Structure 1
């Protein structure tokens, strides 16, 4: 099944898509994480909505929101070709770190920064090298702790597109302290137009992942393409690692990390700064993934920076 979340006068409303792509409201005001917390509740309400069809909205008449407000976002690194390009920004001779093959590392991103698929995205203060990142995120559907990879499959409810907007100059500056990324990733994480249940992708299963074409364009020019199949770590492995000595819970996002060619920083590392200018106000960034829909965000000017300084220096 495919679901979208639309804005209404009474607040956000979750809807299931019918065979023609129309949005059929679920008979509840509950959001996706709450419904996923009860096994079978989401599909039961979706079946009921499709039978009764009390409120049906054409996609063009809906203002779509992010499909969910996740309680946590873990963003991983799973595409080796992306890593091989990104490390060249700091060392042109660098290769893929051996740790890439040892653990599916991640950082926690900011759930308050979740942005809708068609919302404007502001450039953060002090940023002159603004960037996009084309990813797919798994949505946790069942709570679990200390899961094996085999057990983790039952804890993944579905998938969304994730575009992790990044202030590259801010990110690389703060990471010199061996922490982060933090503020470099803090402004906007755009989620795609649809939440698609895991069973919908099974016909496209390819090894431990899926054969889904991923594409990103700026102002109508395609700048990167890849397949989700090229992940080196499966989503089940990400869920298992995320659950070590802690809980994953319904609605948590597990990002795939950027695909090959899925961001400007990787291409700057491979080809130099002349590949493409950083994002500027007025640019339109579009990401698409087979079956999962799209994001389409206009970049706008952000707020001015308020200066801060330490209260003492050595």
Structure 2
């Protein structure tokens, strides 16, 4: 099942996608709520109702609807670091050995859940264009409350999967992380989710064993990222080393997860410009780096999860925190 949040007038509405048509939750069953948040909070009672509903009447063509992020107001946003190839390559490109801690436990950082958006325009400040990057990922949403959830039970807390683009301003990110904090300003301006939430029952045909020594469900899903119609990144979700079940176990240790919490996978191998540029530069020192520019169209596509499209827009302002930093550095000499 594919679940969507769309805008009807000024109201956010929950709908089910069937074929090319959206069917509003209210038209599927009188007991279904109008929002994704309420639906997730009542998952155990409400999921059977929508799963058994038969679309009827006149649906809304999905191409005519204004789609928001499937989970437009996450309770929280965490992003993992679960693909070994991405971590290993990014470190090698910086002249660093692979860090052994990667194989010891899964890690994540907290993102800004208030700047989550769906497909459409991404508005960026001038400093964001200092090495602006996409990141090709998948994400889950939690559908049941739980604390200290073991990985062996964690898959039942997954409401569904969606594509995630963890937008990154690399210069801001790298500067602040020199102080062993972050990422923060390099990430908090935008995270994209969509185009819809796909429940795990619809993905059963793609299930594949997870990596040896790990626990949890895994899916064989091809992943691509294209900029202006040119494919730059290719990967597979089955390459995820740490599973979502293991990320849930880690995240819920001594903390409560709630319906509406979103957890990202981290970037698939070769799934961002930082990694692609670093590898090309290491192999050819004269490589001309590519970063996202105003007007660029970014399309992330994942088997079974759809295609998430965004256009990069420059905000009409010249104010810069990078310039402020330089002024402070000059006056402190």
Q: Same fold (TM over 0.5)?
A: yes
The CA deviation at 1:276 is 4.3
Paired residues of 2:136 and 2:166 also in contact (CA < 8 A): yes
Q: d(CA) in 1 for partners of 2:304 and 2:182?
A: 32
Q: Are 1:146 and 1:246, in contact at CA under 8 Å, matched by a contact in 2? A: yes
- In structure 1, how many angstroms separate the alpha carbons of the residues matched to 2:139 and 2:163? 6
Give the match for residue 99 of structure 1: 101
Q: Pick which of 2-11 and 139-148 moved more.
A: 2-11
For 1:32 and 1:313, locate their aligned partners in 2 and report how far apart those are by CA, in whole Å: 50
For residue 254 of structure 1, report the CA deviation from its aligned partner: 1.0
1:135 is matched with which residue: 126, 137, 149?
Answer: 137
1:65 aligns with 2:37: no
* 4+ residue runs over 4 A deviation: 306-310
- Alignment partners' CA distance in 2, 1:47 and 1:150: 25
SS at match of 1:285: strand
Corresponding residue for 1:123?
A: 124
Within 1, Cα distance between the matches of 2:320 and 2:274? 26
**Alignment-derived partner of residue 222 in structure 1:** 231
Q: CA deviation digits over 1:251-289, x for unaligned, max 9?
A: 111110000111000112211283641100011000000
Corresponding residue of 1:24: 23
Matches within 5 A, 1:1-314: 1-18=1-18, 20-27=19-26, 28=32, 30-47=34-51, 50-51=54-55, 53-54=56-57, 56-68=59-71, 69-89=73-93, 91-92=94-95, 94-117=96-119, 119-127=120-128, 128-208=130-210, 209-272=218-281, 274=287, 276-302=289-315, 303-305=317-319, 307=321
Alpha-carbon displacement from aligned partner over 1:40-80 (angstroms, at most 9, x marks no partner)? 344344257535x3551011211111101211111001111
Structure-2 change in CA distance of 1:29 and 1:38 (3 Å): closer
Q: Is the 8 A contact 2:92 2:98 kept in 1?
A: no
User: 1:270 & 1:158 partners in 2: Cα distance?
Assistant: 33
Q: TM-score, normalised by structure 2?
A: 0.87
Instruction: Report the alpha carbon displacement of residue 186 of structure 1 after superposing the two structures with TM.
Output: 0.9
- Residues 167, 192 of structure 2: 8 Å contact kept: yes
The whole-number CA distance in structure 2 between the counterparts of 1:63 and 1:14 is 12
Asked whether the equivalents of residues 3 and 195 of structure 1 are also in contact (C-alpha less than 8 Å), the reply is yes
* C-alpha RMSD of matched pairs (Å): 2.0
Whether the 8 Å contact between 1:164 and 1:189 is mirrored in structure 2 is: yes
Cα 1:10–1:169, aligned 2, differ >3 Å: closer, same or farther?
Answer: closer
> Number of paired residues?
308
Residue pair 1:218, 1:286 contacting (<8 A) in 2 also = yes
Unaligned stretches of 5+ residues in structure 1: none
CA distances 1:171-202 after superposition (whole Å, capped 9, x unpaired): 00000000000000011111111101111112
Distance 1:54 1:304, change over 3 A: farther
Unaligned runs of 5+ in 2: 27-31, 211-217
